[in-house]
């Protein structure tokens, strides 16, 4: 099978092929049975078998997306190619064009995988959304981008970002400073993401006014959070009583997003994860969204996906042998 696609001009070719033909190289690395080449304004897909047809269809969709004003990155091509070869039907323009927020630094923040797109759509649809997934899947970053966008659009009066301050093998007592100085390192990822989206001066001004709060989970007790967009990160490290406390803080005209990785629970032995319990008992309640991301949604270095899969293999072995590590994840399923 050989399919030739004609591009309109050099600008269209640059938008499709990427920086230094990165998209072309990514497509050629997907299958030894398919080659994609470019000569002038002609793009040729050649190969045999169903994989050639699938990649040819993907390239046509990518050309269509470029003609709608989108550019394709190498990372986009690698992901879209994997999904196409797996038999998934992907709306390329719909995924690449799904902008969540343009940061004040000019960075366009958008979902980069189908799972992330489902996550963004769930947050927009539901008043409360739970997202479970491994590291690097954009759980927190996308939630915060949606929150900042909603704040900019005056949909909510406040943005509240929270995390439980749970030790991962180190004692808070050995850290210098007062309580606030001790818990700030646990909140640092939230600050970093916030400063990615807002200029430092604006972010600090909003925090001084109380429009944006970055607080440890323990500080939420006794509050009622009206007209707020609330994100709870690292929720796998909440206890069952803490999670119930947090979920019942939700007030009128508020939206809540709860994110966590149930394979990385740092609670002391004998303490059940509030996130695992909440997902188990709340899944059938209307008005709640539940999204589970996988290693296919990892948008960090490709090695991260391989590392996650290696750990999952160990967890699967533990589940099969009745080990503790497998029990934690099995409770969620």
The helix/strand/coil state of 147 is helix
Q: For 63-97, how does the pLDDT look when each residue is reduced to its tens digit (9 = 90+)?
A: 999 999 998 999 999 999 999 999 888 899 999 99
Q: For 163-177, how does the pLDDT look when each residue is reduced to its tens digit (9 = 90+)?
A: 987 654 444 455 555
Distance CA 57, CA 138 (A): 28
Q: Identify the burial level of 8 via C-beta atoms within 10 angstroms of its C-beta, where 0-12 means exposed, 13-18 middle and 19 or more buried.
A: exposed
Enumerate the domain spans of the chain. 2-96, 101-330
Question: What confidence score (pLDDT) does residue 183 get?
Answer: 60
> Which fold does the domain 2-96 belong to in CATH?
Ribosomal Protein S8; Chain: A, domain 1 (3.30.1370)
Distance CA 324, CA 303 (A): 26
Cα-based angle 165, 155, 92 (whole degrees, multiple of 5) = 85
* pTM metric for this prediction: 0.86
Q: For 258-310, how does the pLDDT look when each residue is reduced to its tens digit (9 = 90+)?
A: 999 998 898 888 899 999 999 999 998 988 999 999 988 988 777 777 788 78
What is the CATH code of the structural domain delimited by 101-330? 3.40.50.300
Banded pLDDT at 105 (limits 50, 70, 90): confident
């Amino acid at each position: 099978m050989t399919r030739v696609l004609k591009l309109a001009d050099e600008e269209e070719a640059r938008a499709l092929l990427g920086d230094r033909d990165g998209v072309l190289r990514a497509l050629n690395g997907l299958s030894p049975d398919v080659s994609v080449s470019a000569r002038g304004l002609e793009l040729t897909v050649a190969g045999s078998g169903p994989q050639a047809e699938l990649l040819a269809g993907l390239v046509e969709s990518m050309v269509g997306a470029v003609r709608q004003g989108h550019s394709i990155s190498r990372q986009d091509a690698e992901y879209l190619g994997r999904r196409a070869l797996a038999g998934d039907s992907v709306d390329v323009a719909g995924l690449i064009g799904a902008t969540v927020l343009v940061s004040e630094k000019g960075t366009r923040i958008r979902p980069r995988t189908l799972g992330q797109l489902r996550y963004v759509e769930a947050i927009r649809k539901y008043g409360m959304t739970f997202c479970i997934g491994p590291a690097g899947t954009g759980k927190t970053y996308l939630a915060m981008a949606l929150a900042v966008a909603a704040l900019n659009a005056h949909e909510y009066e406040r943005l509240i970002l929270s995390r439980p301050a749970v030790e991962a093998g180190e004692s808070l007592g050995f850290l210098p400073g007062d309580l606030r100085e001790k818990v700030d390192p646990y909140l640092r990822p939230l600050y970093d993401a916030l400063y990615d989206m807002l200029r430092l001066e604006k972010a600090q001004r909003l925090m001084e006014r109380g429009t944006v709060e970055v607080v440890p989970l323990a500080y939420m007790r006794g509050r009622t959070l009206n007209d707020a967009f609330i994100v709870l990160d690292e929720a796998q490290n909440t206890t069952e009583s803490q999670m119930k406390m947090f979920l019942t803080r939700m007030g009128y005209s508020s939206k809540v997003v709860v994110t966590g990785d149930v394979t990385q629970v740092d609670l002391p032995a004998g303490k059940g994860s509030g996130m695992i319990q909440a997902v188990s008992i709340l899944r059938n309640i209307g008005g709640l969204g539940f999204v589970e991301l996988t290693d296919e949604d990892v948008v960090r270095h490709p090695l991260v996906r391989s590392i996650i899969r290696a750990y999952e293999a160990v967890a699967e072995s533990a589940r099969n042998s009745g080990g503790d590590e497998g029990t934690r994840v099995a409770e969620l399923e």
